[in-house]
């Protein structure tokens, strides 16, 4: 099961550009592993921007989806998995 959060989030990236940590619910989550990465084109006919999605596992055992929107240079915490 998962929860859609879809909120802006502060993300620290490593030297490789991959997410290394992010702030969520008043705490800092450190990324243990990037499990999957993919690109979504968005609904271009509605001017929705393309994004890069990352499914990450955190050191505290959480599983999340972070989205990076290159055109806007911003991150979203899109989903939290239970």
Q: What is the pLDDT of residues 62-81, one digit of tens each?
A: 999 999 999 999 999 999 99
Does residue 43 have a pLDDT over 90? no
d(CA 25, CA 7): 11
pLDDT at 42: 80
**Residue that the structure tokens 């993300």 belong to:** 11
7, 74 Cβ separation under 8 angstroms? no
The stretch 42-59 carries a mean pLDDT of 91
- Give the count of beta carbons closer than 10 Å to the beta carbon of residue 32: 13
64, 76 Cβ separation under 8 angstroms? no
**Which letter does DSSP use for residue 44 in this model?**
G
Quote the pTM value: 0.90
What is the residue-averaged pLDDT of the chain? 94
Per-residue pLDDT tens digits for 3-41: 999 999 999 999 999 999 999 888 899 999 999 999 999
| Distance, C-alpha 39 to centroid of its chain | 12
């Amino acid at each position: 099961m998962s929860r859609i959060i879809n909120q802006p989030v502060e993300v620290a990236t490593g030297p490789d550009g991959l997410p290394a940590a992010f702030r969520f619910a008043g705490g800092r989550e450190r990324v243990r592993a990037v499990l999957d990465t993919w690109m979504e084109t968005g609904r271009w006919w509605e001017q929705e921007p393309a994004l890069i999605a990352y499914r990450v596992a955190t050191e505290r055992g959480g599983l999340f989806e972070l989205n990076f929107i290159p055109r806007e240079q911003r991150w979203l915490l899109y989903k939290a998995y239970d």
